[in-house]
Structure 1
Amino acid sequence: MTSLKTIGAKQPETTYIGRYAVRIVALKPSKEIAIIYVDKGNYYKLPGGGIERDEEHLSAAQREVQEETGAIVSLRNTNCIATTEEFRNDLHQISYCYLADVLDATGSPSLTEEERVDGLSHQWMPINEALEAMVSVKPTSELGRYIQERDIYLLTEAKKVLEDGYGQKV
């Protein structure tokens, strides 16, 4: 069963805008994963983002990794390994996390203008170092604190799945 974490609390007086998103733990054969640093807000996050209207989760996952890192990935399977539900201001977001294998990491990111302004950059590091980086930073924004909590949880769950031998390539 997929694990679920709720971040924030639903406020009865708030009308929420719903959003669905994917987060990806993209593994190179060297066992390094992609991690995104966001300068504006001082936090690390997993590659990922919103699922567009009529887009499949797996297509969204592949697109987001390629946009944010330039890498081409293949998802290990169609099952998400963990889910988060966030209540942040007027946003109700559900994120689905997937494991993927990097097929080609030679491409360049194609960041949006907002992502460039926010100072997104990616690096590859072992999963334990990525977790340590996520835990050790002190985000300077509310958004960064939400993302930090979400992605530490998702990466911890991914690590457990990998250590247990689940999430193997299909």
Structure 2
Amino acid sequence: MQKQEIATEGEVQLNNKNILNITDSTYYSKIGFATQDTGIFTASIKDNISLFDNKPVDKTIIEQLGLNTLINSKPKGIDTVISSEDKSISGGEKQRIAIARLLNEDFDCILLDESTSSLDKHSVDIVEECILSKKDLTVIAITHHLTSKAIEMSDCILKLEDGKLVPVTM
């Protein structure tokens, strides 16, 4: 993902282009990531999703991810200032904000590293459906808990076995 390894066979592509032929700035502007330990800024919910960009936050994403309940419970709604230390926001809500941040951008590829670990099963299903419904989006998910929805919607599943990635046959 960091363009530091050269493929020993074939080539790694992003939008049907060899990544070695894409400038670093273009390449990195098309890849987003969310981890288990979500970065929340001391800023409004809107700014945490839009990363301080003036473009609007997609209300459909807010609704699909179930963030409207959080937003509607706050005195200033989406303009309410939150922080990583905010005890009124759960770990799952922080993770959904981070995923909304990814889906509000125009990424071609997103990397999810245990990014739903603080969510209950029902919420994970909702988040996965929202993510996997995006057209033309490559999703690389690292997880200890593979859901049936993810299996059903995935083109390829790999597992780490003896230090190597091997395909999982379903």
Same fold by TM (over 0.5)? no
1 or 2, which has the higher helix percentage?
2
Q: Taking structure 2 as the reference length, what is the TM-score of the superposition?
A: 0.23
Greater Rg, structure 1 or structure 2?
2
Q: Larger RCO: Structure 1 or Structure 2 (Cα < 8 Å, ≥ 6 residues apart)? A: 1
